[in-house]
């Protein structure tokens, strides 16, 4: 049995304070954050591949959090936070604390009248920029071309982000549950890798 709990309990005190990452993981190590970690298959496999890094999954749906908890019970470098992604990034993650963010197949809200619900907005990107360390990376993937174009436009307009070519290690990233389904269906996958750089003066 593990001596830790993979699920982060959002107590009233925690909701108004930044996460103490060293206390949370029991060590100081590079941090990867999976935004909307789903069933946890991606984050758990990544954590086992990169045992010298810490992995934090953020998920707002209770049943998915429980699924991740079961998968992460014996993986000491995984924690899952039951929270909304924007709230967690903006209000809970310390400044310059994250080395890599993953936003993999976020809810596309395909109907035009629902586009305002999409997580990737200018405010979301601003929060990511604050939480991300200098030269940190954001990896985005979606099957929705119009959402991808929106993400590209917002990213290109932000002075602290630069689109960079996919690195060789990106081709061997674990597949999420959604990506497996889309690949089986022959659905195109659109990807964008962003690096945080110094603002243009």
Alpha carbon distance 59, 82 (integer Å): 5
Structure tokens at 117: 């619900």
Candidates 107, 143, 169, 184; catalytic one: 107
- Return all residues near 63 (Cβ < 8 A) that are at least 6 apart: none
**Whether the Cβ atoms of residue 191 and residue 151 lie closer than 8 Å to each other:** no
Please state, in angstroms and rounded to a whole number, the distance separating the CA atoms of residues 190 and 201: 31
Which tokens is 38 given? 């789903």
Give residues with Cβ within 8 angstroms of 120, minimum separation 6.
Answer: 103, 106, 140, 147, 150, 151, 154
Going 81 to 111 to 181 to 193, the CA torsion angle's sign is negative
For every residue of 88-136, DSSP letters joined together read IIIIISPTT-EEEEEEES-----SGGGGGG-S-SHHHHHHHHHHEEEEE
Q: Is 39 a catalytic residue?
A: no
**What three-state secondary structure class fits 144?**
coil
Enzyme catalytic residues = 107
């Amino acid at each position: 049995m593990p001596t830790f709990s993979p699920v982060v309990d959002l107590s009233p005190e925690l909701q108004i304070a930044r996460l103490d990452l060293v206390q949370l993981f029991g060590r100081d190590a590079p941090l990867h954050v999976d935004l909307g970690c789903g069933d946890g298959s991606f984050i758990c496999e990544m954590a086992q591949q990169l045992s010298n890094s810490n992995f934090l999954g953020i998920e707002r749906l209770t049943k998915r959090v429980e699924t991740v908890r079961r998968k992460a019970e014996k993986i000491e470098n995984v924690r899952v936070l039951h929270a909304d992604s924007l709230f967690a990034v903006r209000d809970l993650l310390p400044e310059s604390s994250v080395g890599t963010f993953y936003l993999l197949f976020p809810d596309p809200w395909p109907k035009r009248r629902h586009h305002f619900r999409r997580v990737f907005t200018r405010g979301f990107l601003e929060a990511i920029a604050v939480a991300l360390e200098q030269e940190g990376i954001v990896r985005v993937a979606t099957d929705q071309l119009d959402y991808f174009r929106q993400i590209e436009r917002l990213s290109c307009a932000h002075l602290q982000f630069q689109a960079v070519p996919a690195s060789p290690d990106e081709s061997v990233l674990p597949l999420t549950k959604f990506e497996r389904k889309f690949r089986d269906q022959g659905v195109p996958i659109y990807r964008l890798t962003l690096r945080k750089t110094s603002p243009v003066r």
